[in-house]
Amino acid sequence: MTRLSVNINKVALLRNARGGNLPNLIEVAKDCERFGAEGITVHPRPDERHIRYQDVRDLKDVVQTELNVEGYPNKSFLALIKEVRPEQVTLVPDPPEALTSNAGWNAVEKKGELLEIVARLHAWNCRVSLFIEPVKAQLQASKEVGVDRVEFYTGPYSEGFVDNAELAMKPYAEAADFCKKVGLGLNAGHDLNLKNLRFFAQNCTDLLEVSIGHALISDALYLGLENTIQLYRRCLQKY
């Protein structure tokens, strides 16, 4: 069964809006695990507009499943990773000022840079995933730089799903088959939700993990956090 990692950035954003510690990010992370999440994802940015660097340190002490830390590999991010040593690091190509991640790496162009970064992260005993688009040349380059997994950027799938689910899924299904062939583990994330997740998971070969935040936290406002996590997990069950 594909693992569900809950991205709690939006919880931190709500907390930061008023200062203080409400909602309590650490307690929410623990609740997510208690309700069935199989990982916790965070994406700290240099301006700490949602997840703070100290949050990552605090989460490492309490997360019992897997901590997945996403980010652009600048000097401060890599220093944090060296200190915390999360189970998984997902490298994203967006600059620090970006609102959200909306494109995958150009691993072909950045191969030399990524080789050095991936080697450093492996020396710190972190699994490395690369945020990528379902393009064969980029996946091949990802394999060559030594990452353990890739995370498909699923924004285009989510946009195309409403009009033509099969057409939207086609490049991801083909890319998933290629990943299996070359030995790349496969994660996915961005704009996946209760409407489109099941179809994606059923048509993506050997999908190991999805990371979902915005939609899941939004659904939890109406459905409750425990119920929402269970609904997302059901979408990932194999029939």
Q: Which of 33, 70, 151, 209 is catalytic?
A: 70
Name the average pLDDT for the chain.
Answer: 95
Please determine, for residue 39, whether its predicted confidence score (pLDDT) is greater than 70: yes
Segment 140-163 shows an average pLDDT of: 97
Q: Is 214 a catalytic residue?
A: no
Give domain limits for the chain: 3-235
Q: Which of 33, 50, 66, 190 is catalytic?
A: 190
Tell me the angle at which helices 214-223 and 225-235 cross, rounded to the nearest 10 degrees: 130
Please determine, for residue 233, whether its predicted confidence score (pLDDT) is greater than 60: yes
Tokens of 154: 């699923």
Q: CA separation (Å) from 10 to 17, 35, 92, 210?
A: 11, 18, 18, 17
Q: 99: pLDDT confidence band, cut at 50, 70 and 90?
A: low
pLDDT for res 95: 66
pLDDT for res 103: 75
Q: Is 50 a catalytic residue?
A: no
Segment 154-182 shows an average pLDDT of: 98
Segment 177-197 shows an average pLDDT of: 97
Please determine, for residue 230, whether its predicted confidence score (pLDDT) is greater than 90: yes
Please determine, for residue 61, whether its predicted confidence score (pLDDT) is greater than 70: yes
CATH code of domain 3-235 = 3.20.20.70
pLDDT for res 29: 98
Please determine, for residue 177, whether its predicted confidence score (pLDDT) is greater than 70: yes
pLDDT for res 98: 59
Q: 238: pLDDT confidence band, cut at 50, 70 and 90?
A: confident
pLDDT for res 146: 98
